[in-house]
Structure 1
Amino acid sequence: MSPEQVAALLLGVAVVIIATRLAGTLVARLGQPPVIGEILAGILLGPTLFHGAVTDALFPADIRSHLGALANIGVMVFMFLVGLELDHALLRGTGRLAVSVSLSSILLPLGLGALLGLYLLESHPNPHRLGFALFMGAAMAVTAFPVLARILTDRGMHRTATGGLALTCAAVDDVLAWSLLAVVVAVTGADTGQWHAVLVLPYVALMFWVVRPLLRRLAAAHRRTGHLSPGMLATVLAGLMLSGCVTEWIGLHFIFGAFLFGVVMPREGADRLREEISDRVGQVSTVLLLPIFFVVSGLKVDLSAVGAPGLTELALILLVAVGGKFAGAFTAARLNGLPPHQSATLATLLNTRGLTELVILSAGLQLGLLDTGLYSLMVVMALVTTAMAGPLLQLLRPGRTPVAAGVREAELRSSST
């Protein structure tokens, strides 16, 4: 890199940190998760305003690839933390009610999303018709487990029966949605040789039967010393990068390697280790890497040319995303005997998508499944479904105000911003 490029990159990163922090703080004062403001900051710095003049001035074309590399690392760390925070007990403890609600809240938006995808192929043609339809279904079906957990904590609902059920269903939803997205990636046939796909199952077996026991030794060493040493942290980060490298080489996308590495981190007797890793890695991710991801994602959003056809497509996307998820969860909850009010609250919580949706959409853009126009509309859907949770819960639970302002889902165990 030339000195001019280095200076432009450093200036761009500084702008990213300041803009996303200010926007996140502003929307937090309005009772919304800061992630909404940070995504909006990325969009406003993109080509939507002033025909891209702000983008070209702050983020010249020759530094965007470097920002993209940092954004990818931010996504890897985020997915690792999501896997790290996924409570295995929630999955093991699922009963008939949780399984029924989870499946219904996945299958209905999945089916409706796939049908919508087939309809959108007329205006957004794609050579991977099946992959495109399945991707749209997966994008509609996802629930953001981390932001949901934070919303429940902030509103004092995490110890209620509804809150616990929502967390369990969201955990199952996320596992199913990520599994479905992995199928989509396989169907679209990444640039690597098709024979690489046969390595997926051996890779998963290696992670659980070889890597996990090794990580248990790391947890035992942490218990003996009582603190997370630089060597331990380096081992975890190197393992994270290698896991992402393997899944990318296989053709499965690096986000799955990062997520699975977090999942195989030991739980029993390793609570303190996981907490320290989450705190140390999460702070860098929250303050530096994820804001870069928001802006890089925003640079690909262009809402300036959205006309009547685009608004019609957006209305259909929102109808399928919100209606499909709500109807699936609400119907299953009512059929299992939950009262209407509790069923509606559960369905509202499971409609939360947040940053998890943005990760999926970025993967779809990289895979060539989304064009810029449809990607932009889907990002708006992610924002709307995240922002609506607070007001709807306030209507369903009048007089119950949040304990604290909503917090960015990527912070996980971190304190409120």
Structure 2
Amino acid sequence: MTSHQTTFLLFELSVIVLLARLLGCAARRLGQPPVIGEVLAGILLGPTLFHGEIANTVFPLDTRPLLTAAADMGVAVFMFLIGLELDHQLTRAVGRMAATVALASILVPFALGIAVAFVVASNHPVGHRTGFILFLGTAMAITAFPVLARILADRGMSRTRLGGLALTAAAIGDLVAWMLLAVVLTVAANGTDQWRILLIVPFLALMRWGVRPLLRRLVADDRLSSALPAVAVAGLLASGALTEWIGLHFIFGAFLFGVVMPRTDAEHVRTKLVSRLSELNTVLFLPVFFVIAGFNVDLSSLSLPGLAELGLILLVAVGGKFGAVFAVARLHGLPARDASVLGTLMNTRGLTELIILGVGLSYGMLDQRLYILMVAMAVLTTMMTGPLISVIGRERTSQPTLSR
């Protein structure tokens, strides 16, 4: 790395961190999760304003690969933390209702997304038609578990029965969505090394019956537990590298390493690990990801046909998920108001959606125009969650949930 690149990289990082923090605080003051402000920071630094002059001046082309590497690091840590924070006990406690809500919130938008893919396919040439159709269905079905958790915490709903149900359903839905994405990437795999995808089975077995017992021993031994942060970082990076080499995306390896981290008798260790990793990741690496994502979003290029497609995408994404969740919740005896709140919460997409859209763009399953429309859908569906909950009201959502 040259002195010129070092100078610009450090300057770029300072600009990204400050702008993301300012817009994140502004979003919070407006009742929105900070991630909305950070996403808008990335879009504003991209080609949307002044025909890309800001991006070309502040972020020269020779430093963008370095920013991309930092963004990938942030995504890997983020996916590890998602896997780490999945609460297995809470999932088992809420039970069948959460499972059916989660499956409905995935399968119905997935099917409707496939239908939309057939409608818009002729307007968006992509390399793999089958992969495009399946990917669009998957992208429609996403619920952002971490953003949903932040919204519930900000509104004091985390420990209510409805909040616990929403979190558990979102966690189950995330697992199903990641599995769907893995299938899509497998279907759309190209090249001469497709045989590597078969290694995913022994890899999963190694993680479950090899890595997980070793991590339990590490946590149980007081003399070695201090090394856990270093082991966690090295493990998530190595696991991500293996899944990338196998032919899946590195996000799957990082996520899986978080899932196999021990939970029994390790709550204090997990809390410390989350606090150490998430702070730096939230302040530095994830804002870089938003900027890299913003380089591919030019909202000034939206045309009337593009807005019509955006309307169709929003109708299917919001209506499909809300309708499915509302119907299943009512079948389980939930009051109409609580079912409406639950359907609204499950429409939160946020950062998880942006990560999946980035994967689709990099694998050639989305073109530039459709990527812009899907990013707009992710931002709008996240922004509407808080105001809609306030309108619907939550007088009936105060029942305490089961203790974790």
Q: TM-score, normalised by structure 1?
A: 0.92
Aligned-pair CA distance for 1:156: 1.6
- Which residue of 266, 275, 280 corresponds with 1:270? 266
Q: Residue in 2 aligned with 1:128?
A: 128
Say whether the 8 Å CA contact 1:48–1:302 is kept in structure 2: yes
Aligned-pair CA distance for 1:94: 4.8
Q: Residue in 1 aligned with 2:349?
A: 353
Aligned-pair CA distance for 1:228: 5.8
Letter in 1 for 2:182: A
- Which residue of 268, 276, 280 corresponds with 2:276? 280
Q: Residue in 2 aligned with 1:414?
A: none
Gaps of 5+ in 1: 401-417
Q: Residue in 2 aligned with 1:165?
A: 165
**Cα separation, 1, equivalents of 2:159 and 2:277:** 27
Aligned-pair CA distance for 1:96: 2.9
Gaps of 5+ in 2: 397-404
Q: Residue in 1 aligned with 2:201?
A: 201
Q: Residue in 1 aligned with 2:182?
A: 182
Q: Residue in 2 aligned with 1:300?
A: 296
- Which residue of 242, 249, 268 corresponds with 1:246? 242
Q: Residue in 2 aligned with 1:54?
A: 54
Say whether the 8 Å CA contact 2:101–2:169 is kept in structure 1: yes
Q: State the percentage of identical aligned residues.
A: 57
**Cα separation, 2, equivalents of 1:19 and 1:95:** 42
CA RMSD for the aligned pairs? 1.5
- After TM superposition, the structure 1 = structure 2 runs for residues 2-401 of structure 1, keeping only pairs within 5 Å, are 2-191=2-191, 193-221=193-221, 224-225=222-223, 229=226, 231-397=227-393
Say whether the 8 Å CA contact 2:74–2:286 is kept in structure 1: yes
Say whether the 8 Å CA contact 1:192–1:249 is kept in structure 2: no
Query: Structure 1 residues 398, 80: closer, same or farther in 2, change over 3 A?
Result: closer
Letter in 1 for 2:373: L
Q: How many residues align?
A: 396
Say whether the 8 Å CA contact 1:90–1:171 is kept in structure 2: no
Q: Residue in 2 aligned with 1:405?
A: none
Aligned-pair CA distance for 1:291: 0.6
Aligned-pair CA distance for 1:93: 3.4
**Cα separation, 2, equivalents of 1:13 and 1:259:** 26
Q: Can you list the C-alpha shifts for 1:143-172, whole angstroms capped at 9, x where unaligned?
A: 111111221122121222211111121111
Secondary structure of the residue aligned to 1:268 is: coil
Say whether the 8 Å CA contact 2:219–2:225 is kept in structure 1: no
**Cα separation, 2, equivalents of 1:267 and 1:179:** 22
**Cα separation, 2, equivalents of 1:163 and 1:190:** 42
Secondary structure of the residue aligned to 2:280 is: helix
Please say which of residues 149-158 and 91-100 is displaced more in the overlay.
91-100
Aligned-pair CA distance for 1:99: 2.1
**Cα separation, 1, equivalents of 2:353 and 2:322:** 17
